[in-house]
Amino acid sequence: MWRKTSKKNFIAFLTTLTLILGLIIPINYEKVYAMDEQAIETSNISNDNNLLDKKTIAKDKDYDSIKILGYEDNKELKNKVVGLLNIGKIKLSNGQDTITWEEIKKQLSVDDLDELVRGINKKIDIISFNDIHGSVQETKKNPGVAKLATEIKKYTNKNNEIYNSFIVSGGDMYQGSAMSNLKLGEPINKFAKEIGLIASAVGNHEFDWGTGNFEKWSQDGGFQFLAANLIDKKTNDIASFAKPYLVVERNGIKIGLIGLATPDTLYTTKPTNVVDYKFTSGVEEVNKYGKFLRDEEHVNAVVVITHMGAKFENGELKGESVDIAKSVEKGMVDAIVAAHDHRFTAGTVNGVKIAEGGCNGRGLGKLSFTFDPEGKLISVESSYDEVYKRKDDIKENEKVQTMVKDYEKDLEVILGEKISDLEVDLTNNKYNGVTLLGITVCDAMKKITGSDIAITNGGGLRAPINKGIVTMGDLYTVLPFDNTLVTMELKGEDIIKIIDYGIDPKKRGWGQFSGVKVWYTPENEEGKRITSVRLEDGTKIEKDRYYKVVTNDFMAIGGDNYDFSKAKNVCNTNLVMRDEIKDLWKNEGINPKEKNVLVAGVDDTKEEVVSDTDNNKNDTVINEKENKETIINNKNSEVKNHSVGSKLPNTGAPFGGVLELSGFIAVTIGSYLTKKKKVS
């Protein structure tokens, strides 16, 4: 029958059938939104089949290449923003493929912004600096606080609903420079206020001026001192000027901060300034307050802000803060801010991240936390930023720089006073041996007091002096502490023990001395290293004979654990070491003598008296080991977001049934025509 039907009649039949089906089965066109948010029907857009693609139907450009400035690695956020672009709730500037968070916020309602933020991981960075030691001005390696403020504000200026940062200090903020010392830390407090410092550990050098400044520093700087292990002996409670912990809340995330001071404080500041306090190891306090913060304050993470060191030795992290990480209960602490030993450090100990940012404002430590939308900690990474390496490219923060200039003008007369000309650099590699600066300072101490031998601590000499004009500002930089000269009489055997104690120490600078020449065996244990000691005239030190010795008041009473307890006729001259050296150098000039005062080897001196000049005319500097900067082989870590992105809106049209029917009809026609052709 079908073969007898004409081709024309069959086509007419199929056309009629298609029209009837179109009336029986209504087609519902999906409404999609153009960029102006007005609803239009898909059927009226175009008959171009390309518009049926999910991507092109909902948008007029490809958003895969879009970048959210500052959040390029946040795939989850990008997916959500692309979704908002697809439905027209967010628009890009003409021709741009980038958008900022502020531009996103401006285009969204409060409810839409809440919805956007709700399902996204939150990131919080804790930025730390430590041991800035009053380094207000820019110098050779120190960026100065104006440039450091610029770098810090790169983080805090980005704070918003999904990212936040705050600033903490590892302590030792004030003592160490002329400007800070003469103004009792005032410039540092203004810097702290400007950058929004939240909290600081209590450093050992915070006690150099006693305890009367803590409350004013805290108030003027707008931050809280934290020290859970600093106990007042009279009350058996935490020192009144410090708190054990602080809770910081950002974007619904709570981070508990616990502070720790170093027990080294007992002998790394004037012992008389801390006689009323005791310092525990801190382990018990961290466990106690860590549990409280988690159980009662319901914090999402716990961080310990310490003035305790962390450094790599033979590839292994060591130091007081490392001991804390090893000793506290597992899972009690998530991260530690280290300080005190002036290192750049980033590492992990027992799952605890540790970061330290150098010293003198030369760098920053960084602890990066990522939390899921429910507040659960996903990851922590530690890193550091060596700011000083790019300091010439950093622009000063205008407000802080104006403050620095005001203080420079105020102190110009005092700090600019010329002391003397200097023909050679006074080197100060105090962690590598006895230095030319150390010998020159000790020579001055010896001459001022008429002593046989002078001994001072390497940690008390804070910087080298470069050749050229030496000013009062230079002296304040080198000798920032108001130490006085103390004379005494000591037996030869006690002098030997004291000098031996200062050789190759592990936690401080080498002891500096003059008036004697010392031979020692490096591999021997402490107390048994020195094999011979001679006065400058070549005569051997006699163990039972008393000699006149001068040191500083810090060391005389046990600073750095030096033991002068067996001395007799002890006299604190109350002459400030820095001021007396200034007068001597101003009147007589600076005359450094390069003397080999410390020799690793055997004393083969002939038993005859030789003059100081003859004995040393060919000697060169002094047993300074090769000066090598410590390089920590830890790269800055980057937190990677592994969260699954949100699905894009389903923008495809529901034409499936109609398309299937049309396809069936087309196939039927094709089959018939082919068959008809073969039959005819």
- Burial of 221 from C-beta contacts in 10 A (0-12 / 13-18 / 19+): buried
Number of domains present in the structure of the chain: 4
pLDDT digits (tens, 9 = 90+) for 172-208: 999 999 999 999 999 999 999 999 999 999 999 999 9
Our CA angle for 15, 48, 91, nearest 5°, is 145
Same domain, 269 and 384: yes
Rounded Cα–Cα distance for residues 17 and 80 (Å): 46
- Report if residue 642 sits inside a domain: no
What is the pLDDT confidence band of residue 608, given thresholds at 50, 70 and 90? low
Please report the pLDDT score of residue 40 as a whole number. Answer: 32
CB 297 within 8 A of CB 250: no
Tell me which of 34-48, 136-150, 511-525 is least confident.
34-48
Mean pLDDT of 516-541: 95
Helix (H) or strand (E) holding 71: none
DSSP 185: T
pLDDT tens, 230-245?
A: 999 999 999 999 999 9
- 474 with 516, same domain: the answer is yes
H/E element, 676: helix 656-679
- The dihedral through the CA atoms of 426, 431, 433, 438 has a sign that is positive
Spell out the residues 6+ positions from residue 177 whose beta carbon is closer than 8 angstroms to its own.
133, 134, 135, 136, 137, 476, 477, 480
- Of 103, 120, 137, the domain-final residue: 120
Q: Are residues 333 and 350 in the same domain?
A: yes
Residues 115 and 253 in one domain: no
Contact 274, 209 (CB under 8 A): no
Reported as a pLDDT band with limits 50, 70 and 90, residue 426 is very high
- Has residue 628 been placed in a domain? no
Helix then strand count (H, E) for the chain reads 21, 31
pLDDT in tens, 633-674: 333 333 333 333 333 333 333 444 444 444 444 444 455 444
Give the 3-state secondary structure of residue 422.
strand
Residue bearing the bigger pLDDT, 435 or 101: 435
Residue 637 lies in a domain: no
Domain boundary residue, one of 69, 88, 120: 120
Residues 430 and 380 in one domain: no
Average pLDDT over residues 562-590: 96
Average pLDDT rounded to a whole number, residues 355-373: 97
Same domain for 499 and 612, yes or no, is yes
Closest by CA to 194, choosing from 396, 420, 383, is 396
pLDDT of residue 86: 83
Residues 489 and 401 in one domain: no
- In this prediction, residues 620-643 reach a mean pLDDT of 35
Positive or negative, the CA dihedral 408, 411, 415, 416 is positive
Q: What is the pTM of this model?
A: 0.72
- Residue with the larger pLDDT of the pair 76 and 485: 485
- The pLDDT, as a whole number, for residue 325 is 98
Question: What local confidence, expressed as pLDDT, does residue 494 receive?
Answer: 98
Helix (H) / strand (E) containing 233: none
The verdict on residue 536 lying in a domain is yes
Residue 129 is predicted with a pLDDT of 99
For residue 280, being part of any structural domain is answered with yes
Q: What is the pLDDT of residue 562?
A: 95
Confidence bin at 10 (pLDDT 50/70/90): low
Instruction: Give the model confidence (pLDDT) of 395-419 as tens digits.
Output: 999 999 999 999 999 999 999 999 9
Residue 575's φ and ψ, nearest 5 degrees, are -85, 120
Distance (Å, rounded) from C-alpha 264 to C-alpha 6?
108
Domain with 364 in it: what CATH number? 3.60.21.10
Q: What is the pLDDT of residues 17-68, one digit of tens each?
A: 555 555 455 544 443 333 333 333 333 333 333 322 333 333 445 677 888 8
Q: Cα(531)–Cα(608) distance, rounded to whole angstroms?
A: 18
Give the CA distances from residue 21 to residues 16, 577, 661, 663, in Å, rounded to whole numbers and listed in that order.
9, 106, 9, 14
- Check which CATH number belongs to the domain holding 542 and give it: 3.90.780.10
Higher pLDDT, residue 21 or 586: 586
What is the average pLDDT across 362-371?
Answer: 98
Q: What is the mean pLDDT of residues 458-468?
A: 93
pLDDT in tens, 285-310: 999 999 999 999 999 999 999 999 99
Claim to verify: residue 108 and residue 76 sit in the same structural domain: yes
For residue 238, what pLDDT is reported?
Answer: 98
Same domain, 381 and 463: no
Cα–Cα distance, 392 to 407 (Å, whole number): 22
C-beta atoms surrounding 15 within 10 Å: 11
Assess if residue 650 is contained within a domain.
no
Over residues 246-256, the mean pLDDT reads: 98
How many angstroms separate the most distant Cα atoms in the chain? 141
Residue 625, pLDDT > 50, answer no
The tokens of 521 are what? Answer: 């065996």
For residues 132 and 111, state if they share a domain.
Answer: no
Q: Indicate whether 622 belongs to any domain.
A: no
Comparing 229-238, 257-266, 615-624, which segment has the lowest mean pLDDT? 615-624
- Give the H or E element holding residue 464: none
Domain boundary among 91, 120, 149: 120
Which residue range is the domain that position 65 belongs to?
33-120
The CA distance from 310 to 354, in Å, is 8
Q: What is the pLDDT of residue 130?
A: 99
- Assign 344 a pLDDT band (cuts: 50, 70, 90): very high
Kindly state whether residue 649 falls inside one of the protein's structural domains.
Answer: no
Checking if the pLDDT of 140 tops 70, the result is: yes
Residues 449, 368, single domain; the answer is no
Mean pLDDT for the chain overall: 84
Does one domain contain both 370 and 428? Answer: no
